[in-house]
Amino acid sequence: MADQKISQRELIMEYFEQHPHRDIAHPEIVDWVTVEYEQRTGEKFRDPDRQIRTLAQQGKLIKVAKGIYRYEPEHLIERELEDFTPQQKEEIFKRDGYRCVMCGLGRAEGVEIHADHIKPKDLGGKAEVSNGQTLCAAHNFRKKNYRQTETGKKMFIRLYETAKQLGDTETAEFCSQILEVFECNGVNGHIEWKK
């Protein structure tokens, strides 16, 4: 496939790039690419649906609804800026010794590692090595799935600050113990709390 002039995915993207900012349903794009692909390469386009889904998973297309996709050039640029490049990932891994910063397990133990955005992308976290940390698959999964606890952490930070202002050391100590549990379990580490 590599020696073909145009890949199937490139052809799909060509159509979307010609029609940006518009919701495009499966049949429209499938009809066009199957005809176009056969004309250009003399071959059949076997499974366009799967290729479209892959492009959406890669963030190149936005899935609007079932079977409807959209191309937003700005979305693509933003996404690229926010994602770590393979070089940045390697730099992050190397700095962290190829180990999860939470549990210390890593490649040496055969554990899969990920480059995580300390401040998440959707909160404006940049793709800079300084905003990256190495997490094992388990801790990465946990971090992503414990976002709803952010409100809790913020609430205890506010309570802590208030208690300190009021000189209520008992409540401040109570909050600081809870917040330390957040910290030492690496939950919501991007929300800064200073004792």
Which residues in this chain contact Zn ion in the complex, by CB under 5 A?
Answer: 100, 102-103, 136, 139
Phi first, then psi: what are they for 24, rounded to 5°? Answer: -120, 125
Q: Which is nearer to Zn ion, 70 or 99 (CB)?
A: 99
Give least dist CB 187 to Zn ion, A: 13
Q: Which residue is nearest to Zn ion (CB)?
A: 100
Minimal distance, residue 92 CB to Zn ion, in Å? 14
Residue 120 C-beta: closest distance to Zn ion, Å: 18
Which residue, 136 or 175, is less far from Zn ion as judged by CB?
136
The 8 Å CB, 24+ separation contacts for 76-85 are 81/126, 81/127, 82/117, 82/121, 82/125, 82/126, 82/127, 83/121, 83/127, 84/115, 84/117, 84/127, 84/132, 85/127
Are the C-beta atoms of 179 and 187 separated by less than 8 Å?
no
Number of residues assigned to the chain: 195
Q: Residue 23 or 112: which CB sits closer to Zn ion?
A: 112
Comparing CB distances to Zn ion, the nearer of 62 and 103 is 103
CB of 102 to Zn ion, least distance (A): 4
